[in-house]
Amino acid sequence: AAGLCLIANTAPVAFGALGIPIIVAGQVTGIDSFKIGAMAGRQLPLLSLFVPFWLVFMMDGLRGVRETWPAALVAGLSFAVTQYFTSNFIGPELPDITSALASLVSLTLFLKVWQPKRTAGAQIAGVSSDVIVTASAGGFGKPSNLMASPYSLMQILKAWSPFLILTVLVTIWTLKPFKALFSPGGAMYGWVFNFAIPHLDQLVIKTAPIVNAPTAIAAVFKLDPISATGTAIFFSALISMLILKIDIKTGLTTFKETLYELRWPILSIGMVLAFAFVTNYSGMSSTMALVLAGTGAAFPFFSPFLGWLGVFLTGSDTSSNALFSSLQATTAHQIGVSDVLMVAANTSGGVTGKMISPQSIAVACAATGLVGKE
């Protein structure tokens, strides 16, 4: 089960945590995160389509794939198509949520009209222990022996409401008219605060061969408390508390526990980001990019391996993008290829390193009581 979860957590990694890996890549390179997400959304659907087949193969071998390929195809195709359209037309924040919802709904509806020849016996949550899922004759148009859900439609919608609310609010936050309100000249631009970093802003100069003409690098901290995606998440949590009738004390306790649980990841990512900016402003990334530019036309082949290596070492696509995105973009400029393509390749390559990252494996073993069996 732990291995299956690690494999399943590949294609969604690039857009995980509401697109944070893509957003970080945009921050360290200065490239529009929407463009990076759109490019990654063109690279990853093939992997997304393949993952369900891989999972079935790991569970039941080729026989399982032969017997369940229609369901695997529906699950993978619905995820891949939704991932592509969401990343290319909405933004990098929502592909994982919309793709997962689309895949769940599509597969559920498909199983209303199709059943595999063999189904594993399992108890249905909320039903007495003597109710077991039985095997069906298989194929299309066959009656399903699955018991009806013990939950009403309203109960199901209420349980899913946090995800639905989050999807709606994040979609609003990513719309161009909403973003325009906080752009220079927008009605709410006054709520965006920019702080120039003393003794650094405009004092580091890029020169040839990195750029054609000497260019000063800005060092500005941008604080946008309303237009940031995190604000949409915060409002989603508040609305969900009202719908689920969660009292303030419980909400604050949950927030405190979550913050405590994430204390080390927050510190780790913060330190990685700090190191990434040091490498950028010191010229280390540019120097390494000049070396990699010597690979010429072969670099696009090696580009995803950098992302893979970064995620394998750090356990995070966000950290990998923070470390290598600037290097990827600078190398792309040197060899005359798209910087958006190379930065997206770093992100896409990183997703396959997630499942074999020592950090991910350690977490999976800890969660399943398999410590020492990594």
Q: What is the predicted pLDDT for the residue at 120? A: 59
Q: How many CB atoms lie under 10 A from the CB of residue 367?
A: 12
Q: How many CB atoms lie under 10 A from the CB of residue 285?
A: 26
Average pLDDT on 251-267 reads 89
Instruction: Give the lowest-confidence range in 129-138, 230-239, 355-364.
Output: 129-138
Q: What is the predicted pLDDT for the residue at 187? A: 92
Average pLDDT, the chain: 86
Q: How confident is the model at residue 139 (pLDDT cuts 50, 70, 90)?
A: low
Average pLDDT on 157-179 reads 89
Is a pLDDT exceeding 50 seen at residue 122?
A: no
Q: What is the predicted pLDDT for the residue at 130? A: 46
Q: How many CB atoms lie under 10 A from the CB of residue 368?
A: 13
**Is residue 305 within 8 Å of 345, Cβ to Cβ?**
no
Q: Output the pTM of the full model.
A: 0.79
Q: How confident is the model at residue 26 (pLDDT cuts 50, 70, 90)?
A: very high
Q: How confident is the model at residue 272 (pLDDT cuts 50, 70, 90)?
A: confident
- pLDDT, one tens digit per residue, over 33-55 is 999 999 999 999 999 999 999 99
Question: Residue 98 and residue 82: Cα distance in Å, rounded?
Answer: 7
The candidate with the shortest Cα–Cα distance to 85, out of 107, 105, 102, is 102
Output 115 or 135, whichever has higher pLDDT. 115
Q: What is the predicted pLDDT for the residue at 276? A: 84
Q: What is the predicted pLDDT for the residue at 156? A: 86
Question: Residue 83 and residue 50: Cα distance in Å, rounded?
Answer: 14
Q: What is the predicted pLDDT for the residue at 152? A: 86
Q: What is the predicted pLDDT for the residue at 264? A: 82
Instruction: Give the lowest-confidence range in 136-140, 332-336, 359-363.
Output: 136-140
Is a pLDDT exceeding 60 seen at residue 12?
A: yes
Q: What is the predicted pLDDT for the residue at 125? A: 45
**Is residue 299 within 8 Å of 335, Cβ to Cβ?**
yes
Question: Residue 237 and residue 98: Cα distance in Å, rounded?
Answer: 18
Q: What is the predicted pLDDT for the residue at 57? A: 93
Distances in whole angstroms, Cα of residue 342 to Cα of each of 278, 286, 305, 310:
21, 15, 11, 14
- pLDDT, one tens digit per residue, over 237-256 is 999 999 999 999 999 999 99
Amino acid identity at 222: K
Output 175 or 44, whichever has higher pLDDT. 44
Q: What is the predicted pLDDT for the residue at 273? A: 82
**Is residue 374 within 8 Å of 361, Cβ to Cβ?**
yes
Going 305 to 267 to 238 to 108, the CA torsion angle's sign is positive
**Is residue 88 within 8 Å of 161, Cβ to Cβ?**
no
